[in-house]
Amino acid sequence: MTTAINPQTATAAGHPKLWRTLLGTGIGNAVEWYDWAVYATFTPFLAGALFNPKDPTSAVLSTLAIFAVGFVARPFGGFLFGWIGDRIGRKSSMTLAVGLASVGSLLIAVAPSYGTVGVFASLTLLVARLLQGLAHGGELPSSQTYLSEMAPKEKRGLWSTLIYTSGTAGILFGTLLGAVMTTFLSKADMQAWGWRVPFAIGAVLGLYALFMRARLHESDIFTGEDAKAKRAAIWPQIVRYRKQALQVIGLTVGLTVIYYIWGVVAPSYAATSLHMDRGAALWAGVIGNVVFIAALPFWGKLSDRIGRKKVLLCGAIGTAVLHFPMTWLLKDSPWELAVSMSVMLVFIAASASIVPAVYAELFPTSIRTVGVGVPYSICVAVFGGTAPYLQTWLGSINLATMFSVYAVVLLLVSAAVIFTIPETRGKDLTEAVAA
């Protein structure tokens, strides 16, 4: 029998099990984000290896389409792993999710080339991305629910920054790996075998995260939940808390698109569409993500002091106002990319730092994981998953400005939804939530 940890009476500095909690939660989340980042970073090489190389533009678009298809599986993962998290345990859900994601990375690493097996190479990539999408649909809601329940309520905003801090660390590692490999390996070597390396590393990291999570302890809030509540049917509760589910979608829609634009695909977009040197673009991306990580705890601590809604509004309105100026700044220079990414990511950090806490604070314990997981995954699938493809396609037909308008409109939608949510700073997660 394991001993649960009470975050109200223990601190990270004085309780080694809390360090294990933070590391186990963070590394699994980092691996998930790393998987998505290396896919975006190595898209041109995946396109050349696993699709027909005779039509490079079509191959790149097909690779991005599979990137979007991977998001289709996320709502199913949100429901499956959300059900596991709310009925069996947050720990079990987190552990199974990271294990499945590792299998997907391994499949990509060993996928046969298009020149060897033809269309079956593309099919292997599709299957791998669907597996990863299923796993990633459950990873974020499970890990952020677990972390929010483990955190002291007066510091939940600060603790919630671990989700995007660890995730961005995964993106940063993937971006650094891409920068180093494209610097020291020839294009021919990258196309022949180099692109497989980051996915093999992702599979190994996933196995390590699986081991770490198997040693975690369940949260007191979940273990203290009434047994009858754990046996209750999920779907009626989803319907009952549909308002909160819609609020999750509204809060997420602007953040997911603007984050994918500036935090994930900006270096790849600069290299592909703006013809910036790929290595230099990746290094600029590293600078931007370091700034983002530094900004997260500032906003998290601020939300614990002044409230969640004020910080969320600052993030949504700030990014909406600055998106066009930073887009106009970005032309063909790496320093322009570094500056524009850094400025945008500082304001994106305002929302990103605390949405894990806000989501958890909207739902009761019995439906907290699936209540967040399903609407969040649907939103990310519909809007986040299609963002890179839509950005590339509109750019190819000289309508790049329309994509920027689309992103700003979604940010304004999120800003409007913020006014509809209650202020939840310092909320006791064992309290009932009004449907």
Once rounded to an integer, what is the mean pLDDT over residues 250-275?
A: 87
Name 298's bridge partners: none
Give the angle 353-35-52 at the CA atoms, nearest 5°.
135
In a domain, 426, yes or no: no
Q: Give CA 105 to chain center in angstroms.
A: 16
Report the 10 Å Cβ neighbour count for 202: 29
For the chain, how long is the longest CA-to-CA vector? 63
Q: Give CA 146 to chain center in angstroms.
A: 16
- E-state strands within 45-113: none
Once rounded to an integer, what is the mean pLDDT over residues 154-162?
A: 93
| Window from 10-14, 36-40, 418-422 with minimum mean pLDDT | 10-14
Mean of per-residue pLDDT scores for the chain: 86
Q: How far is CA 435 from CA 153, 241, 366, 418, in A?
A: 22, 5, 13, 17
Of these ranges, 5-14, 131-140, 158-167, 302-311, the one predicted with the greatest mean pLDDT is: 302-311
pLDDT of 13 over the 60 cut: no
pLDDT confidence tier of residue 229, bands split at 50, 70 and 90: low
- State which residues form the domain around 385: 16-418
Q: Which residue has the higher pLDDT, 57 or 310?
A: 310
Token pair belonging to 173: 């590692």
Which residues fall within 8 angstroms of residue 148, CB to CB, at 6 or more apart? 156, 159, 160, 356, 357, 359, 360, 361, 429
CA atoms within 13 A on the CB side of 95: 15
In a domain, 212, yes or no: yes
H-assigned helices in 118-186: 119-150, 156-184
Q: Which residue is associated with the tokens 């905003």? A: 157
pLDDT digits (tens, 9 = 90+) for 337-356: 999 999 999 999 999 999 99
pLDDT score of 4: 44
pLDDT digits (tens, 9 = 90+) for 72-85: 888 899 899 999 99
pLDDT confidence tier of residue 358, bands split at 50, 70 and 90: very high
pLDDT of 14 over the 60 cut: no
pLDDT confidence tier of residue 140, bands split at 50, 70 and 90: confident
Once rounded to an integer, what is the mean pLDDT over residues 107-111?
A: 92
CB 144 within 8 A of CB 429: no
pLDDT score of 176: 81
Q: Which residue is associated with the tokens 């196309």? A: 191
Q: Which residue is associated with the tokens 């191959």? A: 59
pLDDT digits (tens, 9 = 90+) for 326-336: 999 988 889 99
DSSP for residue 410: H
Token pair belonging to 417: 């939804």
CB 347 within 8 A of CB 411: no
In a domain, 5, yes or no: no
Quick one: what percent of the chain has pLDDT higher than 90? 41
Token pair belonging to 107: 């499949």
CB 370 within 8 A of CB 238: yes
pLDDT score of 12: 43
In a domain, 435, yes or no: no
In a domain, 9, yes or no: no
pLDDT of 17 over the 70 cut: no
* CATH (domain of 211): 1.20.1250.20
In a domain, 1, yes or no: no
pLDDT score of 174: 85
pLDDT of 59 over the 60 cut: yes
| Window from 5-14, 271-280, 301-310 with minimum mean pLDDT | 5-14
| Domain count for the chain | 1
pLDDT of 399 over the 70 cut: yes
pLDDT score of 9: 41
pLDDT score of 3: 41
In a domain, 397, yes or no: yes
pLDDT score of 227: 63
SS3 219: strand
Q: How many Å apart are CA 148 and CA 403, to the nearest integer?
A: 34
In a domain, 3, yes or no: no
